[in-house]
Chains A and B, each alone.
Chain A
Amino acid sequence: MSKPFAITLNIGSSLANHTGSWRNERPVYVNRMPPCNNACPAGEDVQGWLYEGEAGNYEHAWRNLTKDNPLPAIMGRICYHPCQTACNRTELDEAVGINSVERFLGDEAIKQGWQFSVTVAPTGKKILIIGSGPSGLSAAYQLALKGHSVTIRESSSAPGGMMRYGIPAYRLPREVLDAEISRIVNMGVRIECNTKVENADAAFAEGFDAVFLAIGAHLGKRAFIPAGDTARILDAVSVLHMTADGEPPLLGRRVVVYGGGNTALDAARTARRLGAYEAIVVYRRTQEKMPAHEIELKEALDEGIVMRWLSTISRVDEGSVTIEKMELDEKGNPQPTGQFENLDADSVVLALGQEVDLSVINGISQVTVDDGVIEVDEFLMTGRRGLFAGGDAVPGERTATNAIGHGKHAARAIDSWLQGETFVHAHRPEPASYDRLNTWYYSDAPKTVRSKLDGARRASNFSEVVQGLDAETAVFEARRCLSCGNCFSCDNCFGVCPDNAVIKLENGKYEINLDYCKGCGICANECPCGAIDMEPERS
């Protein structure tokens, strides 16, 4: 082999030098649990469907979302979005408007007519669900997906439970509710309305393999208040139910609502829409202690609802109520002051909470009840084998999203139980905390604020209060997601490696070339979303 003068070795590339042998730590791609997913009572893969939405793949996003929640157009309107409270972006500017994107996807699905498809063969198992509220519908959907035959029995004349009879139409238009319910019916779920189940146990004799109690809490709590014979006192649940049925009660021009929850505000706002020019909410504690959600309070105040904090109703007469001023003791509990005041009122609506109608489990000795709700185990099964329960009828937060989560979990537990197995919860990854993010790479952007009808105008009718996003703003909002703890293909690791030891794959993911990775850790340090861990090499 001839070489130039003084040259003795063949030239070569440094690729022959495997610098990976220097390494004592290696980068590893991880998927962590984003705070939104973690906080969602329905267990939605929020970050996952936002990721699809960011690219404009709305149907993919919707299909991903509906793996956990079959009612996105509904929940996109009425959910109290704990995901947004938990969102890491609040530390940077404002939370991602997850709820509004969910609503957009739900509305888009209705517009495009997307349907669920059952891809498995029928199992031949029959399941009865008692109640067609969010937990019942959610369970029905999940069970139908697994090939089971599902029947829902509903005591009211239309399905939806509290979504129809508790939530006013200005928050949830009925055509949206009907559209999402009919999509579940299209899967083969049978809903029998005007059918009150007297005893859950009888269903087993009828041939059902499992029963899910999704009966909700529809009885308005009463309180003893001295009242004159002609005093008009109603409970909020009935007021909302009758209004939903198209037979609103006569409330008069001046209405006093007693209570501090969301139902109290819904009742007051409904009263305004039914013609009351004055709706006063009397609550015994302060605004900070109020169980109603802040946004609901704000919307109510915008509509001219008057709040009387630190007050109790001590007497109701025809045309007036007597309220007593309260003051908080050092423990924060309201104590009477002995100062009274009269308010003009044509009617009083009690919104003091709801109770479960337990008649359906009368005589089933294995089922236990504590503090007015049905006791269940971690699989949502009652003491009666095969009888499951969820939603407002069991302990837990009484929200629609929580009910959807109950429905999903109960469905999975029922499915396992029917196969003689025990349901095993999926492994939960480590949390994707804010301190793992490299926020330099995210630019600052204000949240898209949904346009709202003018407060004064909307108080006069039942048209929807909060308007939705369009396709442009939905993408805008989805792209504000930080993708906490999960790679979103930003190419940073690929770009910042001084040793070209990151390989960019066709599918948008990356791989470490361990032949050359020296373990410097820049990729992990500069990963915007904290999806790379450095792990020690084992020698």
Chain B
Amino acid sequence: MTTPLKFYQVGSFAVGNRLLAQGQLSEQSRPTRTNSLTSGHRACQGCGEALGARYALDAAMAATDGKIVAVNATGCLEVFSTPYPETSWRLPWLHSLFGNAAAVATGVAAALRAQGKSDIRVIAQGGDGGTVDIGFGPLSGMFERNDDVLYICYDNEAYMNTGVQRSGATPPAARTNTTHAVGENPGASFSQGKNLPVIAMAHGIPYVATASVADLHDLETKVKKAMTFHGARYLHILVPCPLGWGSRSEETIHLARMATESGLFPVFEAEYGEVISSKKIRRQVAVVDYLKPQKRFAHLFGAKGRPDLLELIQANANRNIAKYELMDENSVRLIGVNRE
């Protein structure tokens, strides 16, 4: 038989495997990984952002031989990692203001260029509030000037650090402390939202991608690929937040997986403004299965639930599936949720 050998026991979905050759291992499976964000940080139990930041920065460190400077916007990631005088960061790291991470990173990149240190690369990072709302102007400028910075947004869909207020990235119908679950349209509104990956693509920058903490291999590949480009690059990572989403701490990765497997969070990559690929759904799930474990959507379920709003959210997922071509012949489709 000439069947090619595959690791059917674990496929390529687990972090590592004892049977893999060194060259095939993910960064996170190596005992020698940087642990850019080290232990002892004050993130909540099951924090998706802490996980996403380590995944992304460890991959970037591996791709550049450890030559990374990181600039951080204000937010959870900054607060839980650097209470004065401690730090959890094991790489050069700067924090200035909530809204200016992209501008500071531009300055760092310019300074490195002036010093002729072309091998040292710059990453700016922040949460969705610091990225899509407060830091949007500097970020758009950074894109427009095509500065040599990779900007990573860890999207947990609200301002969690300050007590769960809605951001421009909060999904429709989600309850936050500024979008209560009351009235005709409970929770966040059904607006267009601020779809920053698409806005970033509109700038025509070299590389834009989305990823989630549910697919490490995909995330690492995208970070490493981003480091092969020069100019402005944008990576948008979905990081569930047990505190703000009202979910169980052990469900963090599972929820991220259901967000992508339902189609609500499309995972794709784009070069110079054009989508070049999307990650296909393996086993489609209905959006209700994704929403139900989250207390921020509890008002949509039960006797006084809102099946009409659930329909609208499912329709959003279906639109994504069509627009980004998230299903192929290998996808296990759900029956009954594909109506437009």
A522 near B: Cβ within 8 Å?
A: yes
Q: B residues within 8 A CB of A524?
A: 250
As a 0/1 sequence over residues 86 to 102 of chain B, the CB contacts with chain A under 8 angstroms (1 = contact) are 11100000000000000
Q: Is the CB of A522 within 8 A of B16?
A: no
* B-side interface mostly: loop
A340 near B: Cβ within 8 Å?
A: no
* A-side interface mostly: loop
Q: Which of the candidate stretches A133-141, A262-270, A328-336, A496-504 sits at the interface with the other chain?
A: A496-504
As a 0/1 sequence over residues 464 to 505 of chain A, the CB contacts with chain B under 8 angstroms (1 = contact) are 000000101101100111110000111110111111110010
Q: Which of the candidate stretches A10-18, A293-301, A315-323 sits at the interface with the other chain?
A: A10-18
Question: Looking at the complex, which one of A15, A473, A476, A504 makes contact with B39 (CB distance below 8 Å)?
Answer: A15
A441 near B: Cβ within 8 Å?
A: yes
Q: Is the CB of A500 within 8 A of B6?
A: no
Q: Is the CB of A19 within 8 A of B40?
A: yes
Q: A residues within 8 A CB of B87?
A: 11-14
B11 near A: Cβ within 8 Å?
A: yes
B249 near A: Cβ within 8 Å?
A: yes
Given contacts A13-B86, A520-B249, A524-B250, contact A443 B28 (CB under 8 A): no
Question: Looking at the complex, which one of A54, A470, A516, A522 makes contact with B9 (CB distance below 8 Å)?
Answer: A54
Question: Looking at the complex, which one of B12, B16, B45 makes contact with A519 (CB distance below 8 Å)?
Answer: B45
Q: Which of the candidate stretches B47-55, B106-114, B171-179 sits at the interface with the other chain?
A: B47-55
Given contacts A11-B85, A490-B15, contact A500 B54 (CB under 8 A): yes
Q: Is the CB of A490 within 8 A of B47?
A: no
- The A-contacting residues of B in range 1-21, CB under 8 angstroms, are 1, 3, 5-19
Q: Which A residue sits closest to B13, measured CB to CB?
A: A441
Question: Looking at the complex, which one of B29, B251, B254 makes contact with A491 (CB distance below 8 Å)?
Answer: B29
Given contacts A492-B15, A518-B45, contact A13 B40 (CB under 8 A): yes
As a 0/1 sequence over residues 30 to 65 of chain B, the CB contacts with chain A under 8 angstroms (1 = contact) are 010001011111110111101100100000000000
Q: Is the CB of A495 within 8 A of B3?
A: no
Q: Is the CB of B54 within 8 A of A498?
A: yes
State how many residues of chain B have any CB contact under 8 Å with chain A: 54
Q: Which A residue sits closest to B254, measured CB to CB?
A: A525
Q: Which B residue sits closest to A528, measured CB to CB?
A: B14
Q: Is the CB of A17 within 8 A of B253?
A: no
Q: Is the CB of B8 within 8 A of A445?
A: yes
A521 near B: Cβ within 8 Å?
A: yes
Given contacts A54-B9, A440-B13, A472-B1, contact A500 B253 (CB under 8 A): no
What distance in Å separates the Cβ of A60 from its nearest Cβ neighbour in chain B?
14
Q: Is the CB of A520 within 8 A of B250?
A: yes
Max chain A CB contacts within 10 Å: which of B7, B9, B17? B9
Q: Which B residue sits closest to A443, measured CB to CB?
A: B11
Given contacts A500-B39, A524-B250, contact A441 B11 (CB under 8 A): yes
What distance in Å separates the Cβ of B96 from its nearest Cβ neighbour in chain A?
16
Q: A residues within 8 A CB of B47?
A: 498, 520
What are 26 A-B contacts defined by CB distance under 8 Å? A14-B86, A440-B283, A442-B8, A442-B9, A442-B11, A443-B12, A476-B6, A479-B6, A479-B7, A480-B8, A480-B9, A481-B9, A483-B9, A488-B9, A488-B10, A491-B29, A495-B26, A495-B29, A496-B15, A499-B43, A504-B31, A518-B45, A520-B252, A522-B250, A522-B252, A522-B253
Q: Which 3 residue pairs across A and B have the least CB separation, nearest first? A: A443-B11, A491-B16, A495-B15
Given known contacts A17-B41, A489-B17, A498-B54, what 16 new A-B pairs fall within 8 Å (CB)? A11-B85, A19-B41, A55-B18, A441-B10, A443-B7, A443-B13, A476-B8, A491-B17, A494-B16, A495-B28, A497-B51, A498-B47, A498-B48, A520-B249, A522-B46, A525-B253
